[in-house]
């Protein structure tokens, strides 16, 4: 892919690029919607993402080209015009980072030419938006010697996604992509940003993703609605408990105070978060002990909770989970923000071929299509290549 992106750059801009970069997608093993509610998550970077070739310019112009969106051509803007522009399309992720860095008084005095190509499954819920934001931040950080570390990089790009792009996401996606480590997941407390690396041994167990082929944009889904619902619940619970975030509640505290949530829908939302946060800690222990049977059970519990309590699944995602379990998966759950995306599955390495055969037969019978199955390995975060 490095050679490919260099050739793309040369064909678009007619000269050789200075540098090449890779920014990975991510999979969250468990911790659905806990990150923006002060809880813990357990994500890892995957060996698929966005590749970029880039060169600094002598002027203040920025030229952005995506080979995946070649029909849009080169998107151009200047460092003096960084406000959001709907006509700028995907290049708003680039201008958004530059604007946020400028607001934070970083000195960025030259533009650049950049070409990108991604190999993330489209609409797979693998966080291509965070990969792009971190990619641009890393490039600018390197070129202008801004000395931004991985934690601060995550905070900056979360602000861009929240305030500039308009998605009320938490910090998980940006954090793992900025700080990922090969063969490890990150156990992250999204409230304190304390984190530790957890080994992920894929020798005897493989991590498979099945794409639902249901594409959804978070800004057009109920993702922001769920965040508002949890904020409404938090306001109520703060009147009766000493908590900062909903995930501060223990299961016992939830049971003792759920009476104050008179709306049954809000009860379901909070119950999911409280129990999911407990599952994240249990999943961390399972990974540390390479206990994939226990981890698989936790994945199923997490999916059922996302489906029934947080109500962010879909009929197709539920089908994919049932098919996977029937085909031999030790555990299966939806990943991503919900309402589409992919499912994560744990399969014994020596049963991999049989699982794929069984699952594919069931999928073809149901949908008259070939399933999109990917096997991913935990990899490093964003880097120059």
The pLDDT of residue 218 is above 60: no
256 is a domain residue: no
Output the pLDDT for position 170.
Answer: 84
The structural domain count of the chain equals 1
146 is a domain residue: yes
Q: Which of 173, 183, 245, 291 is catalytic?
A: 173
- Strands 75-78 and 378-379 come out as unpaired
Domain that holds residue 70: 2-200
Rounded to an integer, what distance in angstroms lies between the CA atom of residue 269 and that of residue 13? 50
Output the pLDDT for position 221.
Answer: 60
What number is the average pLDDT over the span 297-310? 98
How far, in Å, are 33, 125, 160, 283 from residue 310 at the CA level?
Answer: 9, 17, 26, 20
How far, in Å, are 62, 79, 107, 217, 350 from residue 97 at the CA level?
Answer: 12, 11, 13, 20, 44
18 is a domain residue: yes
Output the pLDDT for position 173.
Answer: 93
Output the pLDDT for position 222.
Answer: 76
Output the pLDDT for position 21.
Answer: 98
Cα angle 45, 46, 52; round to 5: 95
259 is a domain residue: no
Instruction: Give percent of the chain with pLDDT exceeding 70.
Output: 97
Those residues whose C-beta lies under 8 Å from the C-beta of residue 63, and which sit 6 or more positions away, are 13, 57, 74, 75, 76, 111, 112, 113, 114
166 is a domain residue: yes
- Asked if 151 and 7 count as a contact pair (C-beta separation under 8 A), the reply is no
Locus of tokens 């708003």: 92
Q: What is the dihedral of CA 50, 347, 271, 172, to 10 degrees?
A: -20
What number is the average pLDDT over the span 314-325? 96
Is-catalytic flag, 173?
yes
Give the pLDDT confidence of 17-68 residue by residue, as tens digits.
999 999 999 999 999 999 999 999 999 999 999 999 999 999 999 999 999 9
346 is a domain residue: no
Mean pLDDT of the chain: 94
CATH number at residue 177: 3.30.230.10
List, in sequence order, the alpha helices (H) in 168-263.
172-179, 223-238, 251-257
105 is a domain residue: yes
64 is a domain residue: yes
The pLDDT of residue 250 is above 70: yes
Give the pLDDT confidence of 80-101 residue by residue, as tens digits.
999 999 999 999 999 999 999 9
């Amino acid at each position: 892919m490095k050679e490919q992106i260099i050739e793309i750059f040369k064909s678009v801009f007619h000269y050789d690029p200075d540098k090449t970069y890779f920014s990975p997608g991510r999979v969250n093993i468990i911790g659905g919607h806990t990150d923006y509610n002060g809880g813990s998550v357990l994500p890892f970077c995957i060996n698929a993402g966005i590749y970029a070739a880039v060169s600094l310019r002598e002027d203040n112009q920025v030229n952005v080209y995506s080979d995946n969106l070649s029909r849009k051509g080169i998107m151009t803007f200047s460092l003096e015009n960084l406000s959001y522009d709907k006509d700028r399309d995907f290049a708003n992720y680039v201008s958004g980072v530059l604007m946020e860095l400028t607001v934070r008084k970083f000195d960025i005095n030259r533009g650049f030419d950049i070409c990108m190509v991604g190999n993330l499954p489209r609409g797979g819920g693998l966080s291509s938006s965070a990969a792009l934001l971190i990619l641009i931040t890393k490039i600018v950080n390197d070129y202008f010697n801004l000395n931004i570390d991985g934690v601060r990089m995550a905070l900056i790009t979360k602000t861009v996604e929240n305030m500039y792009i308009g998605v009320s996401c938490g910090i998980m996606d940006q954090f793992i992509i900025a700080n990922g480590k090969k063969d490890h997941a990150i156990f992250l407390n999204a409230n304190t940003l304390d984190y530790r690396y957890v080994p992920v041994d894929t020798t005897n167990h493989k991590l498979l993703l099945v794409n639902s082929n249901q594409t959804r944009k978070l800004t057009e889904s109920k993702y922001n609605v769920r965040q508002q619902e949890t904020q409404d619940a938090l306001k109520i619970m703060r009147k009766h408990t000493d908590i900062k975030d909903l995930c501060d509640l223990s299961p016992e505290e939830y049971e003792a105070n759920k009476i104050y949530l008179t709306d049954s829908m809000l009860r379901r939302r909070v119950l999911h978060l409280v129990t999911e946060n407990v599952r994240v800690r249990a999943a961390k222990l399972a990974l540390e002990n390479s206990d994939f049977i226990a981890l698989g059970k936790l994945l199923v519990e997490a999916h059922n909770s996302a489906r029934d309590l947080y109500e962010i699944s879909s009929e197709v995602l539920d089908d994919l989970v049932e098919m996977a379990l029937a085909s031999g998966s030790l555990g299966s759950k939806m990943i991503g923000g919900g309402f589409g995306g992919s499912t994560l599955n744990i399969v014994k390495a020596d049963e991999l071929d049989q699982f794929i055969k069984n699952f594919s037969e069931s999928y073809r019978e149901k949908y008259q299509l070939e399933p999109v199955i990917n096997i991913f390995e935990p990899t490093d975060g964003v880097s120059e290549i």
